[in-house]
Structure 1
Amino acid sequence: MAPTAARDDERWRTAGDRIQTLLDASAAGGTVARERAEQLVREITDLYGAALERMLGAAVTANPELAEDFAADGLVASLLLVHGLHPHTVEQRVSAALDGVRPYLGSHGGDVSLLGVADGVVSLRFQGSCRSCPSSAVTLELAVQDAIRAAAPEVSDIEVLAAETDSPAAVIPADALLSRVHAHTTTWCGVPELAGLSDAEVGGFRVAGMTVLACRVGAEVFAYHDRCPGCSGSLAGARLSGAVLRCPHCAAGYDVVLAGAGVDAGVADGHLEPIPLLERDGVLSMAVTPAVEVA
């Protein structure tokens, strides 16, 4: 994506926040002023929505393939969602969103299955997640929730079933499962420089005031906080050997593909602290959250 196009996309992605800020400011004029401002926004939105529906119908009638092109464009798709014109069903969008994060889940030894969507509730089942790593569990939950909310904002709740065992599966309330995520404010920061990493390359980046270590193994990019669990030192200067990242100070090794798990006897119970990394609107982005305390 060209720099100008990327800046334009960023501008429109934040348009909703700017509109909400203006509506909030209108409240200073009293309840009547606020209601009039909200009515004005609704009238304009309905007007443009009606015109967009006619344009979409004409375009897709002339060329049915355009429906998929519109759905693949993040900005256009978000506008279609606002007006209820997206060509894909909620279940199709949720399924595609999960496909998008599945490689990331796999890097943590986990996976997720979509069991269904009914009455605005998405039912999922996580499998083989890195349960021994609390920070990994948080990042997996965060990645899945963000992907679903972005693809299907009309979803009202997410139900997660326990992994299949010999005992009957029980429903885990989404609020309970994702409570650690809800308790922390998350900001997604685009880091387009990550796309420039070559295979087996390790790089350090400053993202939202923190130092992050990122590396590429084949087609996948992985990101971790810049701290070695073995010696508590920086990983600056670390090198990859296959999927194993070696600390330049204590030589401890960590498998970056398997959630940063320690591979040596001395750090077998340790792990790097992973950072959610997803492609958002064509740009690799990191989820920046406050540190999660592990009991």
Structure 2
Amino acid sequence: MPTTAGDTGDRIEALLGQLPDGRGKQVAEELVRVVVGMYGEGLERIAGLVTEDVLLRLAGDDLVAGLLVLHDLHPVDVDTRIQRALDEVRPYLGSHAGGVEYLGVDADGTARLRLEGNCQGCPSSTLTVKMAIEGAITRAAPEVAGVEVEGVTPEPEPVPLQVGMGPPDGWHAPEPSGSRWSAVPEPGPPTGRPVAVRIDGVDVLLCSVRGTLYAYRDSCAACGSGLAESTLAGSVLTCAGCDARFDVRLAGKGLDDGGRHLDPLPLLSDSDGVRVALPAAVTS
């Protein structure tokens, strides 16, 4: 079941997209607009009646925060929310991110950042930025149009980490240093659970979140058990063995213990299909 306003919006759009063109679809779209407008007006009245402290506490809930953003009622400005999101993710980045400077949101609605220190120029920063930093900003400020980061050095060509962001026609992925690309089987339709597959002798966990596919080693960072029977609610993966929670959009960051995280694997979608980078020492 969707756990954020964004998830619900995506679901509504998908359902409307399945309707045939005609009067029925027009009525359904108008119904959605009326209901959204009614809830927006109700939220605006509530925001005007409660104290600022109460409104801030309400905004601490991801679902409520998404609704407040949707109706331009969030009590915290976008710059502050992005700064706070970066502060939360920095401890997880550790030595992989010597510094992340937030430059602001430009006129096109794109959040811009710059990597500093020992993170700048490091090939591994591509994975760090795309999965951890971008995920944190998108979650805290869903209204931004995108995230651009200066100082990211690809390895040695740009390698998309999200399915659907494919490279130009004719482009072929280079072999990642110390690893190789292996084909990923079709995970099937979303079921509310991750999909465990074995690829070239490696147990891989595939998680689909709002149309984006993420891959991890199939091992809980807390108890070491496999995660095939775990649940996936939005971006939160909960281990069936120990109830440990991880955010798959934040490079597998532990939500109960920030010192623990899943082991992410880069994904690539191009003319050869969907592939995952597995360590050469394992796949050989």
Q: Fold-level match, TM-score > 0.5? A: yes
Cα distance change, pair 42–157 in 1 and its aligned pair in 2 (3 A): same
Residue 274 (structure 2) pairs with residue 292 (structure 1): no
- Distance (whole Å) between structure 2 residues aligned to residue 161 and residue 118 of structure 1: 14
What is the aligned partner in structure 1 of residue 86 from structure 2? 98
Partner of 1:207, secondary structure, is coil
Is contact 2:132–2:251 with CA below 8 Å preserved after alignment? Answer: yes
What is the aligned partner in structure 2 of residue 205 from structure 1? 225
Structure 1, residues 152-198: CA drift from partner, whole Å, max 9, x if none? 122123232238xxxxxxxx9xxx96734444943499x9x86xx5x
**How does 1:98-137 map onto structure 2 within 5 Å?**
98-119=86-107, 120-127=109-116, 128-129=118-119, 133-134=123-124, 137=126
What is the aligned partner in structure 2 of residue 232 from structure 1? none
Cα distance change, pair 208–96 in 1 and its aligned pair in 2 (3 A): farther
What TM-score, normalized by structure 1, do the two folds share? Answer: 0.55
Query: Matched residues, percent identical?
Result: 33
Higher CA-based Rg: 1
CA RMSD in angstroms, aligned pairs only: 4.1
**Paired residues, number:** 200
Offset of residue 83 of structure 1: 1.4
- Distance (whole Å) between structure 1 residues aligned to residue 150 and residue 95 of structure 2: 21
Partner of 1:158, secondary structure, is strand
- The structure with the largest helix share of the pair is 1
What is the aligned partner in structure 2 of residue 19 from structure 1? 12
Cα distance change, pair 82–76 in 1 and its aligned pair in 2 (3 A): same
What is the aligned partner in structure 2 of residue 41 from structure 1? 32
Is contact 1:131–1:137 with CA below 8 Å preserved after alignment? Answer: no
What is the aligned partner in structure 2 of residue 214 from structure 1? none
- Distance (whole Å) between structure 1 residues aligned to residue 256 and residue 58 of structure 2: 13
**How does 1:1-295 map onto structure 2 within 5 Å?**
10=3, 14-25=7-18, 27-28=19-20, 30-60=21-51, 64-119=52-107, 120-127=109-116, 128-129=118-119, 133-134=123-124, 137-162=126-151, 179-181=160-162, 182-183=165-166, 185-187=212-214, 197=222, 203-208=223-228, 276-278=251-253, 290=267, 291-292=276-277
- Distance (whole Å) between structure 1 residues aligned to residue 255 and residue 112 of structure 2: 23
Is contact 1:123–1:159 with CA below 8 Å preserved after alignment? Answer: yes
- Distance (whole Å) between structure 1 residues aligned to residue 49 and residue 257 of structure 2: 28
Is contact 2:3–2:63 with CA below 8 Å preserved after alignment? Answer: no
Offset of residue 132 of structure 1: 5.1
Offset of residue 14 of structure 1: 4.3
Structure 1, residues 235-285: CA drift from partner, whole Å, max 9, x if none? xxxxxxxxxxxxxxxxxxxxxxxxxxxxxxxxxxxxxxxx91236799998
- Distance (whole Å) between structure 2 residues aligned to residue 282 and residue 104 of structure 1: 10
Partner of 1:206, secondary structure, is coil
Cα distance change, pair 106–54 in 1 and its aligned pair in 2 (3 A): same
Cα distance change, pair 93–14 in 1 and its aligned pair in 2 (3 A): same
- Distance (whole Å) between structure 1 residues aligned to residue 254 and residue 71 of structure 2: 24
Runs of 4+ residues over 6 Å off in structure 1:
280-285
Offset of residue 11 of structure 1: 8.4
Cα distance change, pair 126–90 in 1 and its aligned pair in 2 (3 A): same
Cα distance change, pair 188–79 in 1 and its aligned pair in 2 (3 A): farther
- Distance (whole Å) between structure 1 residues aligned to residue 81 and residue 122 of structure 2: 31
Is contact 1:109–1:129 with CA below 8 Å preserved after alignment? Answer: yes
What TM-score, normalized by structure 2, do the two folds share? Answer: 0.56
* Uncovered stretches (5+) of structure 2, i.e. residues with no partner: 167-210, 231-243, 268-275
What is the aligned partner in structure 2 of residue 230 from structure 1? none
